[in-house]
Amino acid sequence: MDLIAASGLTKRYGKTLAVDAIDFSVREGETVGLLGGNGAGKTTTIAMLLGLLIPTAGRIVILGHDMARDRFSALAKMNFSSPYVSLPSRLTVAENLRVYCHLYNVRRTDLRIAELADDLDLHDLLPRRAGQLSAGQRTRVALAKSLINRPRVLLLDEPTASLDPDTGDLVRSWLERYRAESGCTILLASHNMAEVERLCSNVLMMKQGRIVDRGSPAELLARHGRDDLEQVFLDIARNRTATAEALA
């Protein structure tokens, strides 16, 4: 069953075509990576999936809800994390999480916050102001916020950007564990190829607003005759090999 389905999804800003009639779907429990260079259309695609941006054309259905007509029903059951969006810095971590418990109508607020604090090792951070946290601590708090409602669909925009390798690895390990426990469906936009290889069962390669290649990491490696996704990424970015789109 597809929990995310996008068809003919297009976004145009004036003469600039940011996303060009893309089609894709993400099955229940699957983790799909959205790869592409800067300006490829990843963030625009995620913003459209979240309802922050109205598509110029196309249709998005998430958890069975048409996002053009009924986005709030879907938004209650999904969540999002990005290092480029902050939580109010003057509020403590506990206060921030409480705000989002109320927004997502999460019952037994204190219990849920304690569960997340256990899972993400946040107990020491709860009384601290969000603005006083390091990048790694902020990422853990942002992840806690994104899981506050036990989402069935999770959209992650570069969740480990600007993290040191150790913290990045902790976050990836935690995401793997959470996915195994919850069966959550994840769409992950990232520039970190090792992360995508580790977490994703399928990958969508974007370039200039189009999905130019797709498949499992193993399929992409085989198709491009490479050993790692970073090489595949560079091949596509520099037009060194034919993509599935070009072959079709």
97 φ, ψ (degrees, to nearest 5): -65, -35
Binding test (CB under 8 A) with other proteins, winner from 5, 17, 21, 99: 99
Structure tokens at 151: 């989402």
CA distances to 78, 123, 141, 148 from 94, rounded to whole Å, are 21, 9, 10, 12
Size, binding site for other proteins by CB under 8 A: 35
Binding test (CB under 8 A) with other proteins, winner from 72, 181, 238, 247: 72
Closest contact distance (angstroms) between CB of 190 and other proteins is: 18
Comparison of 188 and 193: residue with beta carbon closer to other proteins: 188
Residues sharing a CB contact under 8 Å with residue 58, sequence separation 6 or more, in sequence order: 6, 7, 8, 9, 10, 21, 22
Residue 72 burial by Cβ neighbours in a 10 Å radius (0-12, 13-18, 19+) = exposed
CA distances to 7, 24, 107, 201, 220 from 214, rounded to whole Å, are 15, 9, 40, 11, 7
Q: Give the closest residue to 97 by CA, choosing from 66, 75, 128.
A: 128
- Per CB under 8 A, does 234 bind other proteins? no
Packed helices 109-120 and 165-182: angle between N→C axes, nearest 10 degrees: 130
Binding test (CB under 8 A) with other proteins, winner from 15, 38, 69, 90: 90
Structure tokens at 230: 């970073």
Q: Which amino acid does the sequence have at 54? A: I
The residues in 11-50 that bind other proteins, with binding defined as CB under 8 A, are 13, 43-44, 47, 50
Site string for other proteins, 142-181 (x = CB under 8 A): ---x------------------------------------
Q: Give the closest residue to 95 by CA, choosing from 85, 77, 79, 109.
A: 109
Site string for other proteins, 103-142 (x = CB under 8 A): xxx-----------------------x-------------
Comparison of 150 and 198: residue with beta carbon closer to other proteins: 150
Binding test (CB under 8 A) with other proteins, winner from 66, 89, 134, 246: 89
Binding test (CB under 8 A) with other proteins, winner from 17, 91, 114, 194: 91
Comparison of 79 and 160: residue with beta carbon closer to other proteins: 79
Closest contact distance (angstroms) between CB of 80 and other proteins is: 5
Binding test (CB under 8 A) with other proteins, winner from 24, 100, 178, 233: 100
Q: Enumerate binding residues for other proteins (CB under 8 A).
A: 13, 43-44, 47, 50-54, 72, 75-76, 79-80, 82, 84-92, 95, 98-105, 129, 145
